[in-house]
Chains A and B, each alone.
Chain A
């Protein structure tokens, strides 16, 4: 038994995760083929859970995200004139986290895997190391969501209380990149916040776009597009969150890639991400209006 964590039964310490030779994921029927300027269809539902104050569920390809909002709940301690806002992201223990995946992905596609890659793969701990602490990627997602939603929620309306957001990734597309996951999570959080009835300045919608070396623009890049960039290798991804009804104010911005970023490139990224964000916002709005009218 591990003496590090006495509260959980986590099994023998010297146990090793399984290592699959042919770790190429099975071709899934859920991989959407789409044009570069299209976004993938997604499934959304609110109010799936009854215990939290608000919840939303989002499904894109194999990625399943469940967000629950607890709050506003009263907190103990000294008086605070506005609500305290916290975000927690957790992957289910057996879900591959994208930071490991990027390594695994490199290892698969590149025949000249280095010794280091092999070791990384071999020592992958699928639980991300520990049940009690958060992995890098979980922290990264939490901090993005926290900073993006802070301007949206009217915290002054809820003094001396706390609003907690719990994000659970039930399943992740094996080769998806982190940014694509963040955009899904962010849109799911918006819906959950609406469902909880917490007052917002605006619903936040998030778009993701990729620009390649030859200025090709890809909205909502998927697994299939990930395969394309491995030959060339030069690309830049940006996930950007907007408040579309507040003059498209940008509330979150994260880039990844290896292209040199200049002003014109940033402008293109913003414009394209905004295009996607607006499409998503339109979908969310229609869903919410449908819900009101059906009730």
Chain B
């Protein structure tokens, strides 16, 4: 792309014979996009191309690498995504929190009651409150050569991501609940065995000599998922790529099984309760005495299970910018209201990139469609839809186009 040119002008000072001539100034596109982004964008759009040399409906290239470089046990999943020139490294790790039944047992009991009511009623399955879903805790760092506190953009992105994951109900609480196992050591053979209670065990419970639940602490333990993003080469709005990276990473998360050693179970208590444990297990619910203060929950990284996500809302985000440009060809359509805007048309730009587009495109539409599980018809459900007005006229037609493009993009990203 050749450099831009500012028209030369002749200035004739009255009363002075001298004629000053202003010479045309040439700038290369990188300089011009900083000093006159509107001019640069206009010049490119007139040529039916964008400053990034992409066409209007063309998304940035994307490359996803979920190499499982498990150099660190704490890291549950890691994805590196290259989107255009932008590189996003996303790592997810977990922490464990304990929910004490003694402190808020009443709240939990009422919520359990609530669950029982709603779980038994299939028509109400979608009406659970957000309290049955977990957020993730994102930390976003954009490499910009700055020290110190996070920038506004980083804070806004993190908050938006946090709210979106929680409110879109992506991660059910049940997927992050820890099913605590107990490790027993055979005193004679020294063989260590870890038991996890599962559905089969519960069926056969009566045949067993002991009830595994008696050995467990009565408190609930949950995983908390933390995501960190490190972004290099920022060259446009980042929400789409961050959300896509997060989804891709979450789909790779494997949580470890967690157990406690039998030595940590408070045996005398179990012995006391064993006689009537099968009759009334909830009796000692409020006794917090099965837990030591420093109970060590041990994770077994050789024994993991995949994180279960709410598949019905998975879809990938796309943002479109809208900008006016002078019509390149005169249209033959009948103009309904002839006015000044006649010669303008609004064009849709996929994946805003570069300083010129970012500073000039204020009208934006951000869409996260829901991907169809079966590839039959289109479904018209969305996880997120936002329209920001910024001066350009967003017509129904353009919106339809944006929706269609976002669905195609989402399907494509899903397939990667």
Contact = CB atoms under 8 A, between A and B. Distances in A.
B95 A17 contact: yes
Interface in A88-140: 88, 92-96, 122, 126, 131-132
Contacts of B52: none
Nearest to B98: A14
A52 B142 CA distance: 12
B145 A52 contact: yes
B89 A94 contact: no
Contacts, number: 131
B387 interface: no
A73 B150 CA distance: 20
Given A9-B162, A18-B299, A70 B85 contact: no
Interface string A19-32: 11111011010000
Nearest to A174: B71
A244 interface: no
B239 to A, nearest CB: 15
A51 B234 contact: yes
A93 B298 CA distance: 21
Interface in A126-177: 126, 131-132, 164, 166, 168, 170-174
A45 B149 CA distance: 30
A93 B159 CA distance: 19
Size class of the A contact interface (CB-based, 8 Å) = 35 or more
A50 B233 contact: yes
A49 interface: yes
B72 A96 contact: yes
Contacts of B85: 50
Residue of A12, A71, A122 ringed by the most chain B CB atoms within 10 A:
A12
B67 to A, nearest CB: 11
Nearest to B232: A49
Contacts of B232: 49, 51, 66, 68
Given A20-B301, A68-B143, A93 B91 contact: yes
B11 interface: no
A8 interface: yes
A92 B93 CA distance: 12
The range of chain B's interface size is: 35 or more
A8 B150 contact: yes
A30 B162 CA distance: 36
Interface string B301-330: 110000000000000000000000000000
Interface stretch (B116-124, B223-231, B273-281, B376-384): B223-231
Residue among A9, A25, A131, A172 having the largest count of chain B Cβ atoms under 10 Å:
A9
Contacts of A174: 71-72
B32 interface: no
Interface string B101-142: 000000000000000000000000000000000000111000
A227 to B, nearest CB: 18
Contact of A18 (B69, B73, B87, B159): B73
B33 to A, nearest CB: 14
Nearest to A16: B96
Contact of A26 (B70, B87, B299): B70
Interface of B: 69-75, 85, 87, 89, 91, 93-98, 137-139, 143-145, 147, 149-150, 155, 158-159, 162, 224, 226, 228, 230, 232-235, 256, 294, 296-302
19 contacts: A7-B150, A9-B138, A9-B159, A10-B139, A15-B95, A17-B96, A18-B73, A18-B95, A19-B296, A19-B297, A22-B302, A23-B73, A25-B71, A51-B232, A66-B232, A86-B147, A94-B74, A170-B89, A173-B71
Interface of A: 7-12, 14-23, 25-26, 28, 49-52, 62, 66, 68, 70-71, 73, 86, 88, 92-96, 122, 126, 131-132, 164, 166, 168, 170-174
Given A7-B150, A51-B235, A172-B71, 5 more contacts: A7-B155, A9-B138, A20-B256, A21-B299, A93-B93
